[in-house]
A and B are shown apart, each in its own frame.
Chain A
Amino acid sequence: MAIDLKMPALSPTMEEGTLAKWLVKPGDEVKSGDILAEIETDKATMEFEAVDEGTIAEIVVAEGTEGVKVGTVIARIAGDDEAAAPAPAAAPVVAPKATESEAPAGTDAKAQAAAAIAPAAAVKPAADPELPAGTAMVSTTVREALRDAMAEEMRADDRIFVMGEEVAEYQGAYKVTQGLLEEFGPKRVIDTPITEYGFAGIGTGAAMGGLRPVIEFMTFNFAMQAIDHIINSAAKTNYMSGGQMRCPIVFRGPNGAASRVGAQHSQNYGPWYANVPGLIVIAPYDSADAKGLLKAAIRSEDPVVFLENELVYGRSFDVPQIDDFVLPIGKARIVRPGKDVTIVSYSIGVGFALEAAETLAAEGIDAEVVDLRTLRPLDKETVLASLAKTNRMVVAEEGFPVCSIASEIIAIAMEEGFDHLDAPVLRVCNEDVPLPYAANLEKAALINAGKIAEAVRKVCYN
């Protein structure tokens, strides 16, 4: 039986090509792998190999013909006995037609997707747990709260291990992992060499293989060496595998400006990671949120980037003394209720926002402060509800202004809160420069309560 040879597509974008040269003629015997013709695409001249065995029966498109569309029959092979025997194998693959008729989602899948399918309605995140009456509050540093979260989870699940530079014997570069080696031993608290790309990959592979790694970066500045594994390996593989390849891993460490350490050690990566579907991004401010959200992050089936802040590690806040204090991921928190204006912030910015709110209160402006806590998925509902109440909004972010979380909040306000706005939303971010070392310049570049208060006065037209 005859086999049609069709003009092949030889690159992802090829639609037509030139049949430059035939290397066979009618009557020639060909077998799999023989080169039949040379075909010119817009990029290169490619060799066209035989897949089936048989005799060339006919050359349909002469050599030198330009603009031959992909799929055009260019020659025919008379199949030999063996090739003809299993009919489906030798039969020409008449593809596009069959595809269209048998695949209802076929060519207009995009249109259908746009028209009929939207992401499943977001499940409303659970509220923070109600604390039993009389729950004792214990003043705890953020550093201790993070350590307690890891220790509690490690006691409950032996698949969890902590890995990073200086996490074990040194007790943590910033002492966040203090005491973990003593309690859990070197099998579960593992010092790595200075090799971020490598251990981020090993952690990700271990998560794919069923363990639950907590990978500490000494700072997120160094995680740029490892960002390929966070994004390409950890965030995308579940999707690319159709849901087979889980990656329950936490990447954690300090993020943002510290103090006088210069531009390479002072950057907020929140917007970078929040840009990527497949990741959870958490950036807590106080000790209770640090503990409750790190526990939730470790329990999550998804890869989590957990952004801490060095300047906040030593601050003390109340943490409820209950057995298993876990907070919902994806839920913002109103840390100070108010009626005149909303200040949205996260991480260290929340402290500045609260300070600004106190100043403003003395001037008769009652500011509501919203702590996003999770940057991805972002709790739009809480932000929009606050905007609907106050009609004015400022976003405060310790980070670069361009393509920031603040930019995203403003976009949400425009798209979904426009009717509630009495003034343009303003953002208060760091200056758009690499962070300088000199004390005066560094201070000038960073956000502070004064800058936030000034922006609030503007949106309140005061």
Chain B
Amino acid sequence: MAKPAAPRKPRARKPAATPPQVTAPETIAAEDEATFALRSLQQAHANNKRFDASDEELLKFYEQMVLIRRFEEKAGQLYGLGLIGGFCHLYIGQEAVAVGLQSALKEGHDSVITGYRDHGHMLAYGIDPKVIMAELTGRAAGISRGKGGSMHMFSTEHKFYGGHGIVGAQVPLGAGLAFGHKYRDDGGVCMAYFGDGASNQGQVYETFNMAALWKLPIVFVVENNGYAMGTAVKRGSAETHFYRRGTAFRIPGMDVNGMDVLEVRQAAEVALEYVRAGNGPVLMELNTYRYRGHSMSDPAKYRSREEVQEMREKHDPIEGAKQELLKRGVTEDRIKEIDKKIRQQVAEAADFAESSPEPQAGELYTDVLVGTY
């Protein structure tokens, strides 16, 4: 890249050739310190893994996760019926991530941004399932007035900034939102989600560099569900421990079990405390699993049925929360009541999404530009 000529600096004289030196002890000590800084949040998380939720809090988490699960199942069903078109990426299996992390945010104050697998993050931020489902069916009442679809949904009111279809684009956009929080000094942070696949996009590292350089208040969240579409992590990534990928930029990493909502929530507490204190970004890797294909048209032949069954039966975040609730003495009836309420809510969302009208034809030409010229 050519740059206009700058005044030339006097060239530094080459040091005389020196024999290879053994690293001095003080250098090693300094490196240890740096390593400690990068691992300190992981250590804090390891010391206290699970969030001390009250019964009511855990019930709330359970309810939100069940809402996402039932909503996504219904979306899959409506897709099968031809009511939802195009691409539709379901969040089933990953519910504990969005619920655990976003429950630690201040809704409407902290910003959230994600990629195309976005329904779960919206539901976890309190956005009405009706307008999400109506967007999926392409109706005027949809949150994007039917013009965005599954991958392009936003709620500026909730500070949910999408819903972006280009893999990795949400990472610098999220840093821009974080830049805004810092610029206005409003105390807010941005949580930017992306996948193990997006982690290999160059713009992610351009963003890591600037976010760390400028100490932007942002939590980078890698949702590692094991597969970038059909490519298993180990087939596409030289460094498969994504939480280490900020090391080159001095961004501390955290390796988190994304299948336990209380572990996720506790990790969020640690990360947010660090970011809100003005220390700059944190990179969290949430290890999770998607039960369904990458999108509705993915037969998911790149993994065995046994692998999926194993995750479903032994690590399901909803079943895990349910067992914990029962162990605490919450009654089966109370849980069933929640399940019933959610089924009702999702059914109403689906009814709304099917029965509300498509956009008026004139909507074709609206919202291209804001101003008139």
Contacts and interface: CB of A to CB of B under 8 A. Distances in A.
Interface of A: 6, 8-12, 14, 32-33, 35, 41, 43-49, 51, 70-71, 82-83, 85-86, 88-91, 93, 95-96, 98-99, 102-106, 109, 112-113, 116-120, 123, 125, 161, 166, 170, 173-174, 187, 192-195, 197-211, 218, 222, 228-229, 232-233, 237-246, 261, 265, 277-278, 280, 300-302, 328-330, 374, 377
A95 to B, nearest CB: 5
B309 to A, nearest CB: 10
Contacts of A46: 293, 297, 299
Nearest to B291: A33
Contacts of B161: 205, 208-209, 245
B256 to A, nearest CB: 25
A304 to B, nearest CB: 10
A33 B358 contact: no
A265 B361 CA distance: 44
Given A32-B73, A86-B340, A195-B210, A229 B146 contact: no
Contacts of B86: 12
Contacts of A265: 2
B358 A86 contact: no
A242 B82 contact: no
B361 to A, nearest CB: 4
A228 B357 contact: no
Given A33-B291, A206-B180, A241 B81 contact: no
B308 to A, nearest CB: 10
A43 B299 CA distance: 9
Contacts of B184: 210-211
Contacts of B176: 201-209
Interface of B: 1-4, 6, 73-74, 76-83, 85-87, 111, 113, 139, 142-148, 152-156, 161-166, 169, 171-181, 183-184, 202-203, 206-207, 209-210, 213, 291, 293, 296-297, 299-301, 305, 312, 336, 339-340, 343-344, 346-348, 350-351, 354-362, 364-373
Given A106-B358, A173-B3, A238 B370 contact: yes
B313 to A, nearest CB: 11
Contact of A202 (B152, B154, B172, B347): B172
B361 A218 contact: no
Contacts of B113: 205
Contacts of A51: 73-74, 76-77
A200 B73 CA distance: 37
Contacts of B175: 198, 201-202, 205
B80 A6 contact: yes
Given A8-B81, A95-B354, A113-B361, A241 B179 contact: no
Nearest to B336: A82
Contacts of A197: 172, 202-203, 206
A280 B148 CA distance: 21
8 contacts: A10-B297, A12-B87, A93-B78, A104-B357, A202-B175, A205-B174, A209-B181, A229-B173
